[in-house]
A and B are shown apart, each in its own frame.
Chain A
């Protein structure tokens, strides 16, 4: 008997059927991967199971008994736990306090932290989920925070664990460790639903794969019976190029030159330490690294959002070290920011208004301080079709677009101004296979048109498939350089986490982060 069974679950949002007659089973001790593009209805389905959304039709059975789950509390009582993509932890509390929050052991009405700590330690040893129970969540790495979330679900008695895009924020090593943990959980008798859109993870970790598209289950298979190509086809509904075709680079003159750059971060700590590199016309240079090793600060220094402490930045021989963002843009630097909601777009602006941001003070969009609505509308129309932004009109608010379309909008603006140099930070974060393909093709098209491209990415897949040269950053220093296509993910992973310095490539350390 399955521990969890969904029969014909339907969920309708105004204008969209998010789940259309979805049926699914989960056996005890099994990992089921729920695979699909963004917007396919995976998370909606699991939010229905977890009681965050109320289904409009269908049945949910736990241990063969029909149940009505209207609140997460009820789901938890039934033994269902969920780890969300965005963690729901109180940053200022310790790991222990977060784990027991809501079900604190008490003595005489007072929280008994000693008992709490003991049970957390016991749980974390039983499942091999090591965390420091006394550290505040804000001091923990993202991977550790995720463990706290998992421990929290286990502490609440979860037998069915739902993980929503758990690897999106992890390093390759952390991903490996996570799947080790998940394996030990199912060995201990738990069942896991893994929501993902990453094909290789599915093949590596799941027992069974359920593929969703447009709110429906379109296929079910086992990893041994399939491969990435056919999974991708099932997921997208057409043939997809997983790795864009790329001709040899044709590097020209040096476009962007960074010399001995020193930058401080928001806390005034020395975040970038003497970084030097060049990006030539017609090549893609990637900076690979674990999040928070100085990549953001390098980009912000180049585009004028952050004042460097020392060093110099030139674009085509002109010094732009201390240029404002406005004049950096005017000089020909386009920037696809890593967080499109925070930095990339004004979500409350319509598409046309977003498309002129950065060029709004120039012809043809304005003259003598007055905007020129006709020119703006004409350009918007052109860019929207050119970059395939799916929208009913240019007067739709950017916030109403899907993630993939928002990113296309950012690209339409940044590439549409025909820059000399493109800086792309995490350009495909959170995008699905189809949109990733589009973004990658566009970036390579820029390269082939003789633009200099600087790519910063945490996704090694992406770095490997796009870059002509790969620089690895660790703790604010460039620690290695490889030619594109000459290095495997493991080696990059080792350098990214501080290992490998002075060692030959292919070293087998796990690369524990050490200062």
Chain B
């Protein structure tokens, strides 16, 4: 039995959920409307374009699988960016941590070959996350100790990570060519089956064929963990306090330096999981082209999700769906797949514009109450 107060409190909570979700949904809708106008202006048929985009994203089991597969890394990077933002940090270098995570996964997958899957998979995921955390640790330390801005340092570390991966793929990790000849392309050896994440169809053979893999479930689990971490642990509490108001946090005995280091490392570990899950679930080997800018799309995902870990999941599905549907749309509606880029850009634009608008409204309200 709930008391009337509890019921009203619950209702109020749902109201705020609806309010919070309302504006991002509106941005997506607006982006589609403006996108339609653009299609119309260039002589296309917007209805055909968007319906084939939908077909391509969720039209059948295979396409739905594509969407899920493409969303998986975006959930991880979206979580990484969102966690950073909650702590007042802009981890623009998620792409670099993703590369380090991928590298760690590829190396471990080969080195640990022979262990059973139920040991090797968790070890690979955890140690890849640690690799990402370590890669974020140096920028975090620089930020905490000397105030070097994380936007610059993590970005620069991304370049180092990418070229380090290239070096490894051209050297120590390079796969040998056929018949024991030296390899010619910068690509790692294929991981043994027990160190890859199975496809859904591997587990449930009755499913229609598609490419979605278990990494998606891991991503959803991690999203829930991040949500709990932020809401119910002292680490998350301190991160949010520092993110909202570092001065008040400091006055309350929270170490800003320590919180910064922790938060950026957690963010880095989440980004690294994106790399690990791509290597383990999709490519089953490491190449230097294995990320389609997931680290950067993650920023858009976090923005659309308003940095809420659970909301990151639908936001990532939207961007994953756009990516999966764009080729289909180009083929069937004869609309260039660049439209998807435009829609993506518009979504981000309207989400950003929305926060500008609410910022304005808030400011007006604040002024009004202050002056009342």
Interface 0/1 of B231-265, CB less than 8 Å to A: 11111011011001101111111110000000000
Stretch at the interface among B132-140, B213-221, B272-280, B364-372: B364-372
Pick from B12, B232, B248: contact of A371, CB under 8 Å: B232
Q: Are A344 and B248 in contact (CB under 8 A)?
A: yes
- The reply to whether the CB of B9 lies closer than 8 angstroms to some CB of chain A is yes
Q: Are B245 and A16 in contact (CB under 8 A)?
A: no
Q: Are A13 and B9 in contact (CB under 8 A)?
A: no
Pick from B231, B248, B255, B372: contact of A357, CB under 8 Å: B248
Q: Are B253 and A326 in contact (CB under 8 A)?
A: yes
CB distance from A290 to the nearest CB of B (A): 23
Q: Are A53 and B233 in contact (CB under 8 A)?
A: no
Q: Are B251 and A47 in contact (CB under 8 A)?
A: no
Q: Tell me, in angstroms, the Cα distance from A120 to B5 when the chains sit together.
A: 61
Nearest chain A residue, comparing its CB with the CB of B232: A371
- The reply to whether the CB of A347 lies closer than 8 angstroms to some CB of chain B is yes
Known: A325-B251, A326-B253. A346 touches B368 (CB 8 A): no
Q: Tell me, in angstroms, the Cα distance from A44 to B253 when the chains sit together.
A: 38
Q: Tell me, in angstroms, the Cα distance from A328 to B252 when the chains sit together.
A: 10
Q: Are B372 and A345 in contact (CB under 8 A)?
A: no
Interface 0/1 of A305-328, CB less than 8 Å to B: 100000000000000000011111
Q: Which residues of B contact A369 (CB under 8 A)?
A: 233-235
CB distance from B214 to the nearest CB of A (A): 28
Q: Which residues of A contact B232 (CB under 8 A)?
A: 370-371, 373
Q: Which residues of B contact A327 (CB under 8 A)?
A: 253
Q: Tell me, in angstroms, the Cα distance from A18 to B370 when the chains sit together.
A: 11
B binding-site residues for A, Cβ under 8 Å: 5, 9, 12, 231-235, 237-238, 240-241, 244-245, 247-255, 368-372
Q: Tell me, in angstroms, the Cα distance from A330 to B247 when the chains sit together.
A: 19
- The reply to whether the CB of A198 lies closer than 8 angstroms to some CB of chain B is no
Q: Which residues of B contact A303 (CB under 8 A)?
A: 251
Known: A346-B244, A348-B245, A360-B234. A325 touches B372 (CB 8 A): no
Pick from B237, B250, B370: contact of A325, CB under 8 Å: B250
Task: Give me 19 A-to-B residue pairs in the complex whose CB atoms sit less than 8 angstroms apart, sorted by A's number.
Answer: A13-B369, A52-B371, A325-B250, A325-B252, A326-B254, A343-B247, A343-B250, A345-B245, A347-B245, A348-B245, A357-B248, A360-B237, A361-B253, A366-B233, A370-B233, A371-B231, A371-B237, A373-B232, A395-B12
CB distance from A456 to the nearest CB of B (A): 15
Q: Which residues of B contact A357 (CB under 8 A)?
A: 241, 248-249, 252, 254
Nearest chain A residue, comparing its CB with the CB of B370: A43
- The reply to whether the CB of A342 lies closer than 8 angstroms to some CB of chain B is yes
Q: Are B372 and A371 in contact (CB under 8 A)?
A: no
Q: Are B244 and A344 in contact (CB under 8 A)?
A: no
Interface residues of A in 1-52 (CB under 8 A from B): 13, 16, 18, 39, 41, 43-44, 47, 52
